[in-house]
Amino acid sequence: KNEVEQSPQNLTAQEGEFITINCSYSVGISALHWLQQHPGGGIVSLFMLSSGKKKHGRLIATINIQEKHSSLHITASHPRDSAVYICAVDGGATNKLIFGTGTLLAVQP
């Protein structure tokens, strides 16, 4: 069993829909990261959180430390949100990350 599990693996949505991507982990962490990767592109950090909730524009990330679960929400989705969204956990000592396999999101106009 992978230490970081994401669901779903693939997601197709219509423009304007509310989207949720889930991440569960089985190890102790100091922080959880959500990253975005566009096709053929680099990787950018969206959020880093260790408790509660963070919001940036139409993106919201939440984490429940007791349940070892995090969600990434996208409100009013747009085709430019189409990308791979990656969850990663940080064990703390050297900021080494353990990555999930990613969720491929396609938002259709």
Query: One symbol per residue from 4 to 23: x for binding other proteins (CB under 8 A), - otherwise; what is it?
Result: x-------------------
CA distance linking residue 51 with residue 108, whole number of Å: 32
Query: One symbol per residue from 90 to 109: x for binding other proteins (CB under 8 A), - otherwise; what is it?
Result: x-xxxxxxxxxxx-------
Segment 40 to 69, residues that bind other proteins, using CB under 8 A = 41-45, 48, 50
Question: CB 79 → other proteins: shortest distance, Å?
Answer: 22
State phi, psi for 12 to the nearest 5 degrees.
-115, 130
Binding site for other proteins (CB under 8 A): 2, 4, 30-31, 33, 35, 41-45, 48, 50, 86, 88, 90, 92-102
